[in-house]
Amino acid sequence: MPTVQAHDLRCAGRVVARYVCDPQLPATVSPRPYLHPVTTLAGTTVTGFMPADHRHHLGASIAVPALNEANFWGGRTYLTGRGPTALDNHGRQQHDRWLHRSGDRLEQELTWTRRDGTPLARERRALTVRGLTDDAWLLQVDYTLRSATGDDLTIDSPAARGRTGAGYGGFFWRAPTGPDQIRAFGQRTDADVHGSRAPWVVLSGDAWTLIFLAGSPAADPWFVRADDYAGVCAAIAWDRPLLIAAGEVFARRLRVVIADGPPTRATIAAAEAWT
């Protein structure tokens, strides 16, 4: 049976996200399944795909800068003492099979492979869509990682290698590039949310709002950009490597509220009910 290339997710009778499960992309972007376009219920696109400033940003996806030295983020690899370096080490997240597929839920198994196709990790991923309010819906992302070889897995970030503040890696959402005035804040609007462990983070444009809700079993620090570009990541290797021991299963859950219009107290209250 041929591989299904993409699947639409629906809420309130309309398509709100396209999940591309087996993309045909250059090796330098670390090919991986992604969500794009993702839209509000009114149809405003809230993901950015391969923008000029970062060609390896693929809508909303699970991506890490280094897993056992293989790059699953795309672009250059940050090396201690050398900085960003172009290497031929880009991995691929390969779709293996569907476990469930419907209009509001997808569940699949994937293999993370090195550039040469050697398996490194096995993943189980689920995407679930729920209606929230008349102008907002919720996406839940669950994923688990375990070794495919019986060896330990080590996930690194540039921050873990000495680049302070660059602790990205995990579920990453790239917002669209455009003329919007972008805002990012948490419970305290006067505090820098980048690097915080706030229970939720708001990223908003002129006509849309995204509310990222802290995951489980523990709240990871937030990697947040709102100036040079707009994006949010629940960072799993913020300032030190993440070790997944052989035989261990690493699990995360994250929820995102996608809403029309600027952030309102009602939308934030509806989101808080899910924390």
Where does the pLDDT of residue 218 fall: very low under 50, low under 70, confident under 90, or very high at 90 and above? low
What pLDDT, on a 0 to 100 scale, did the predictor assign at position 190?
78
Whether the model pTM is above 0.85:
yes
For residues 177-196, give the mean pLDDT: 89
CA pair distance 42, 150, nearest whole angstrom: 47
CA neighbor of 180 nearest in space, from 223, 224, 232, 230: 230
**Residue 3 pLDDT > 60:** no
Burial 13-22 (b: 16+ CB within 10 A, else e): eeebbbbbbb
Between residues 268 and 121, the one the model is more confident about: 121
CA neighbor of 142 nearest in space, from 106, 99, 103: 106
> Considering the chain, what is the average pLDDT of its residues?
94
Per-residue pLDDT tens digits for 44-84? 999 999 999 999 999 999 999 999 999 999 999 999 999 99
Burial 128-138 (b: 16+ CB within 10 A, else e): bbeebbebbbb
**Residue 214 pLDDT > 90:** no
What pLDDT, on a 0 to 100 scale, did the predictor assign at position 215?
73
Cis, bond preceding 37 (omega within 30 deg of 0): yes
What percent of the chain stands above pLDDT 70? 97
Please report where in the chains the tokens 């993370």 appear, as a residue.
112
What pLDDT, on a 0 to 100 scale, did the predictor assign at position 216?
65
What pLDDT, on a 0 to 100 scale, did the predictor assign at position 219?
81
Where does the pLDDT of residue 2 fall: very low under 50, low under 70, confident under 90, or very high at 90 and above? very low
**Residue 158 pLDDT > 70:** yes
**Residue 135 pLDDT > 90:** yes
Burial class (CB in 10 A: 0-12, 13-18, 19+), 60: buried
What pLDDT, on a 0 to 100 scale, did the predictor assign at position 1?
37
**Residue 254 pLDDT > 60:** yes
Per-residue pLDDT tens digits for 194-207? 999 999 999 999 99
Q: Please report which helix (H) or strand (E) contains residue 98, including its range.
A: strand 92-101
Where does the pLDDT of residue 275 fall: very low under 50, low under 70, confident under 90, or very high at 90 and above? low
For residues 137-155, give the mean pLDDT: 97
Query: What secondary structure letter does DSSP report for 269?
Result: H
CA pair distance 124, 214, nearest whole angstrom: 20
